[in-house]
């Protein structure tokens, strides 16, 4: 059943969008989805199918002359439904974004979950502006990084010592080096389909094709990219997720060799595949038995699912957790944080970790503001309820339209997988049978209805504190229409 959403309670957190979710309400108190329009133009949200995004196309034409592939990340999409260009977003306010052609959308990409307070949040901007007035970086120790590290140690179950970096991939590299330094072992065990960044150290079997996976009991380690050294790939042992017996056998085969097991506790990069009950506890026990460092990649889940992230949610404490995305609230920052003894070699400088921009006061101030704002009463609850409302709407409309799918995740992050398989999906390989074409059509229909979701069906929808009752009502209606169009 659709739960009636509440606007998130903190006035400071609830930003107004560029488009107005007007005041009209239905008799039952639910906001009027039809009243959501662009404030500047009065246009309905969404992109019109008969109006190709000409300005975005022109920017992409220019981009391709000077940016490799026209993009700044291999993961960035280069097309929008039928059009051979990405949308160029030029403005964001609260839960809304607007592209170069003036099309506005309610945004559920949120910079892959980073903009957890919504876009251009007033308090966030004020914090950044006041830090700007004092300088952005000095290449010295600064007071804000200390306060931020203290806040992380208060909130994160495993954090006793913290180191900052600037992207998820960088912080992952630091965590892996810390684990290798601490244990004196080389190999890292990661799970098939989990994503831990683009750098060599763990870009293995991120998204292997069916023919590349190898046997389930002994998956093949596959370099995710050309240009990676074979030795690095050999040091990454791959296991299937959610399969305790197979993992036990793989660990036996590599006894004494494995420095760390690393996992996305909820697999944000595999359409929010959830851990089977008891599986994270099993990882904890195996790591304890074999003196392996347990690393939770909480780059997506951290400070998004709650102050203590997935560790708190599942009651399982890792040895090191890695954070990015939500922590920065939309500015680039990241951290790895863990047990004092494991981080001791980093502290003693025998395990080296550097970075000009690490812990810079601009991003640290933004992060501190973000973490404190998320702890305002009702902030996490508002995020959760909004997401659950959309998950319910997808389930209900797919049932009504007889479109087979699985909706999985938690309120703050979730995904729909179009598949005939009964849910929940447990393994990366289950996703290989998903109907990617139908996901693409659903996403395009949503864009036309004014809702911007991730272009990749293997990623997630994300919610911010700026998403309120109006946006939920609008999105629920949009989901219903989009589902009818793909049925």
Question: What 3-state class would DSSP assign to 21?
Answer: strand
> How far from the centroid of its chain's Cα atoms is residue 439's Cα?
18
**Nearer Cβ to ligand PLP (413/466):** 413
156, 311 contact by CB (below 8 A): yes
Exactly one of 53, 94, 181, 197 binds ligand PLP (CB under 6 A); which one?
197
**Closest distance between ligand PLP and the C-beta of residue 108, in Å?**
16
Alpha-carbon distance of 61 to 63, in angstroms, equals 5
Question: What 3-state class would DSSP assign to 299?
Answer: coil
Element (H, E) at 187: strand 187-191
Per rule CB under 6 A, count of chain residues that contact ligand PLP: 15
192 sits near ligand PLP (criterion: CB under 6 A):
no
As a whole number of Å, the CA-based R_g of the chain is: 22
**Nearer Cβ to ligand PLP (172/431):** 172
Exactly one of 7, 111, 169, 360 binds ligand PLP (CB under 6 A); which one?
169
Q: Provide the annotated active-site residues.
A: 195, 297, 325
**Nearer Cβ to ligand PLP (189/299):** 299
Walk across the sheet containing 89-93 and list its strands.
Answer: 89-93, 96-99, 104-107, 451-452
**Nearer Cβ to ligand PLP (33/383):** 383
User: Which part of the chain contacts ligand PLP (CB under 6 A), choosing from 103-111, 263-271, 341-349, 351-359?
Assistant: 263-271
User: Which part of the chain contacts ligand PLP (CB under 6 A), choosing from 161-169, 207-215, 313-321, 374-382?
Assistant: 161-169
31 sits near ligand PLP (criterion: CB under 6 A):
no
Residue labelled with tokens 């911010």? 464
Element (H, E) at 121: none
Question: What 3-state class would DSSP assign to 17?
Answer: coil
299 sits near ligand PLP (criterion: CB under 6 A):
yes
**Nearer Cβ to ligand PLP (299/482):** 299
Question: What 3-state class would DSSP assign to 277?
Answer: coil
Exactly one of 268, 305, 331, 379 binds ligand PLP (CB under 6 A); which one?
268
**Closest distance between ligand PLP and the C-beta of residue 65, in Å?**
25
CA distances from 304 to 75, 137, 149, 299, 384 (A): 22, 27, 17, 9, 10
**Closest distance between ligand PLP and the C-beta of residue 166, in Å?**
8
Q: Mask: binding to ligand PLP, 55-94, rule CB under 6 A, as x and -?
A: ----------------------------------------
**Nearer Cβ to ligand PLP (37/190):** 190
Alpha-carbon distance of 377 to 368, in angstroms, equals 17
Exactly one of 7, 19, 269, 455 binds ligand PLP (CB under 6 A); which one?
269
Exactly one of 59, 195, 241, 442 binds ligand PLP (CB under 6 A); which one?
195
**DSSP-derived secondary structure for 43-71:** PBSS--TTS--HHHHHHHHHHHHHSGGG-
Q: Closest residue to ligand PLP, Cβ-based? A: 168
407: Cβ contacts below 8 Å, ≥ 6 apart: 391, 394, 395, 398, 414, 415, 416, 417, 423
Alpha-carbon distance of 463 to 475, in angstroms, equals 12
Which residues inside 102-141 make contact with ligand PLP, applying CB under 6 A? Answer: 112
Binding footprint of ligand PLP on the chain (CB under 6 A)? 112, 167-169, 172, 195-197, 264, 268-269, 297, 299-300, 324
């Amino acid at each position: 059943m659709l739960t009636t959403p509440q606007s998130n309670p903190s006035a400071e957190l609830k930003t107004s969008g560029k488009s107005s979710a007007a005041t009209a309400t239905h008799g039952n108190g639910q906001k009027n989805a039809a009243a959501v329009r662009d404030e500047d133009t009065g246009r309905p949200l969404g992109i019109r199918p008969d109006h190709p995004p000409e300005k975005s196309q022109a920017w992409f034409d220019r981009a391709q002359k000077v940016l490799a592939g026209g993009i700044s990340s291999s993961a960035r999409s280069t097309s929008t439904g039928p059009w051979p260009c990405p949308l160029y977003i030029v403005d964001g306010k609260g839960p809304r974004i607007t592209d170069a052609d003036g099309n506005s959308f309610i945004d559920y990409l949120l910079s892959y979950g980073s903009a957890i307070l919504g876009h251009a949040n007033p308090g966030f901007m004020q914090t950044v502006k006041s830090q700007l007035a004092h300088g952005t970086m000095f290449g010295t120790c600064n007071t804000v990084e200390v306060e931020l590290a203290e806040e992380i140690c208060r909130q994160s179950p495993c954090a006793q010592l913290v180191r900052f970096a600037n992207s998820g991939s960088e912080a992952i590299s630091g965590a892996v080096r810390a684990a290798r330094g601490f244990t004196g072992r080389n190999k890292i065990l990661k799970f098939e389909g989990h994503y831990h960044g683009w750098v060599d150290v763990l870009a293995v079997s991120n998204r292997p094709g069916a023919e590349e996976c190898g046997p389930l009991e002994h998956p093949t380690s596959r370099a995710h990219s050309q240009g990676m050294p074979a030795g690095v790939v050999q040091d990454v042992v791959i296991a299937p997720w959610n399969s305790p017996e197979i993992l036990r056998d793989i660990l036996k085969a590599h006894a004494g060799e494995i420095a760390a097991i690393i996992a996305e506790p909820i697999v944000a990069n595999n359409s929010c595949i959830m851990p089977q009950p008891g599986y994270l506890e099993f990882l904890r026990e195996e790591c304890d038995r074999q003196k392996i460092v347990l690393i939770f990649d909480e780059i997506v889940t951290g400070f998004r699912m709650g102050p203590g992230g997935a560790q708190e949610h599942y009651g399982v404490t890792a040895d090191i957790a890695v954070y990015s995305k939500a922590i920065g609230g939309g500015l680039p920052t990241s951290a790895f944080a863990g047990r004092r003894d494991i981080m001791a070699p980093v502290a003693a400088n025998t395990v080296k970790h550097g970075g000009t921009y690490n812990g810079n006061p601009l991003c640290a101030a933004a992060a501190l503001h973000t973490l404190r704002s998320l702890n305002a009463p009702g902030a996490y609850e508002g995020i959760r309820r909004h997401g659950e409302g959309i998950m319910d709407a997808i389930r209900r409309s797919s049932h009504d339209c007889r479109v087979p799918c699985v909706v999985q995740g938690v309120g703050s992050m979730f995904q729909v997988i179009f598949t005939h398989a009964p849910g929940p999906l447990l393994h990366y390989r289950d996703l290989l049978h998903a109907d990617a074409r139908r996901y693409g059509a659903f996403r395009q229909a949503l864009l036309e209805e004014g809702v911007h979701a991730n272009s990749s069906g293997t990623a997630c929808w994300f919610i911010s504190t700026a998403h309120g009752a109006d946006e939920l009502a609008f999105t629920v209606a949009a989901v219903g229409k989009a589902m009818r169009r793909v049925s």
